[in-house]
Amino acid sequence: MWKTVAIPTLIFLSFQLSFAQKTSLRKLKKGIQQIEAFDQALVGLQLIKLSTGQILAEHHQADFFTPASNVKLMTVLASAQTFDSLPALYYQQDRSGVIHFESAGYPLFEHPLYPDDELKNWLQSADSLVYHFSDESHLNQLGPGWAWDDRLFYFSAMPSAFPVYGNVVRGTTTPNNLWQIHPDHFPIEESSIYQYRLFRELAENRFYVNPNRLITEDTLFVPFITSEKLTVAILGEAIGKAIGSASASLQSPIPLHTNQDQKLYRSVLQQSDNLISENLLLMVAKERLGVFSSEAIIAELSQEWKTAPDDWIWVDGSGLSRYNLVTPRNLIWTLQKLFKLWGPEKIIDYFPQAGVSGTLLKEYGSKKLPRVFAKTGTLRNHHNLSGYIYESKTGEWYAFSILVNHHSTETRGVRMGIRKLLEMLSRRI
């Protein structure tokens, strides 16, 4: 007799669950439609519970979007899978005591915002140094799909085998409006014909300052054109000693590990530094393939990451390229892998927290939200947010990805819209 009761009951419960899910999806779609900043924009999202993988919400989760700096999540995952500790360089010592070294792609030597004094001290402590050139033939002055007219801005610094000073010159003015440039390796002239305060020629390292546009105690960063010969020269000037050079690759060099992992990962995730992110991917390529090639390492990773729900359309390490495309559920896959590797401690330490730190310091803070740790991604007409939600009452972690592409409204309004959407999603956890 109980069978005749149980079967209809199961059917009824199944119908109730299906109806609740459909109702929930309708509410989600309606909620998105009510956010004015999303008018005519394409919105995709997915929310999952990390402990079970249960999908709690999704919308256009299989569509491809321009991810902008959400690409940095893939770069960070590649690095986390490759390194236990990041190498600053590779070296070996010959019988006469000369230190021979080559680049690991590490980008923090004399960086204007995140300098690694340990590496500088190590180089200064050597009696004699010889730098061995790398093959930079796979590197471009600008990445594929980058905007050439961004070349004057810090965020578009060029990746190289061995970045020095972040591959930018730092221009400053004193209280007396005297102009200074650092490093002072480059020629600089005054010119009032350019609209910019500090300007570099398109194809050469000639810099101009416009004295009519100077602002007292101003600081500007402009990328310079890199080469390994220039690297050797500037390295020598920075440590105060001549550095020899050689073209032969080192055989079985020793990695010099750095203690700056936290600083580097925070610069990528919290400050969204493009040059450091590009070079982090090059570090992975050098370690795994022995060559500085983003294209080659992306091809290899795309094959290794075939378990992701969708294909990878991925061309650079920072997300500056307009050619990158990714689905929300592939970003969720990335976040799942990263959480498994790092655990909650590093997620809390390395990611910006909404309303507290990094690129989320002034945005996304809300008393209606649990703790949110996430990476932004912004290009003109595209703004995205992907990361983690921690619900302290239950101790549960969730991963989410919200991508808003082709919006015609101001980015500030889109941020507010994403916050509203997060508040809506948090009611499901």
Q: Which domains does the chain have, with CATH numbers?
A: 27-79+291-426 (3.40.710.10), 80-289 (no CATH)
Cα dist from 342 to 334, 368, 402, whole Å: 12, 27, 22
- The answer, yes or no, to whether residue 3 has pLDDT greater than 60, is no
- The answer, yes or no, to whether residue 11 has pLDDT greater than 50, is no
Contacts of 101 (CB under 8 A, 6+ apart): 89, 90, 91, 92, 129, 130, 131, 132, 250, 253, 256
Rounded Cα–Cα distance for residues 234 and 201 (Å)? 20
- What is the rounded average pLDDT for all residues in the chain? 91
pLDDT tens digits along 362-411 = 878 777 888 999 999 999 999 999 999 999 999 999 999 999 999 999 99
pLDDT tens digits along 221-248 = 999 999 989 999 999 999 999 999 999 9
Q: Tell me the three state secondary structure of residue 418.
A: helix
Q: How many CB atoms lie within 10 A of CB 359?
A: 20
Instruction: Give the pLDDT confidence score for residue 390 in this predicted structure.
Output: 96
Instruction: Give the pLDDT confidence score for residue 412 in this predicted structure.
Output: 93
Instruction: Give the pLDDT confidence score for residue 400 in this predicted structure.
Output: 97
Instruction: Give the pLDDT confidence score for residue 12 in this predicted structure.
Output: 45
- The answer, yes or no, to whether residue 10 has pLDDT greater than 60, is no
Instruction: Give the pLDDT confidence score for residue 23 in this predicted structure.
Output: 44
What's the pTM? Answer: 0.92
Instruction: Give the pLDDT confidence score for residue 216 in this predicted structure.
Output: 75
Biggest CA–CA distance in the chain, Å, is 96
Instruction: Give the pLDDT confidence score for residue 281 in this predicted structure.
Output: 98
Instruction: Give the pLDDT confidence score for residue 326 in this predicted structure.
Output: 98
Rounded Cα–Cα distance for residues 328 and 332 (Å)? 6
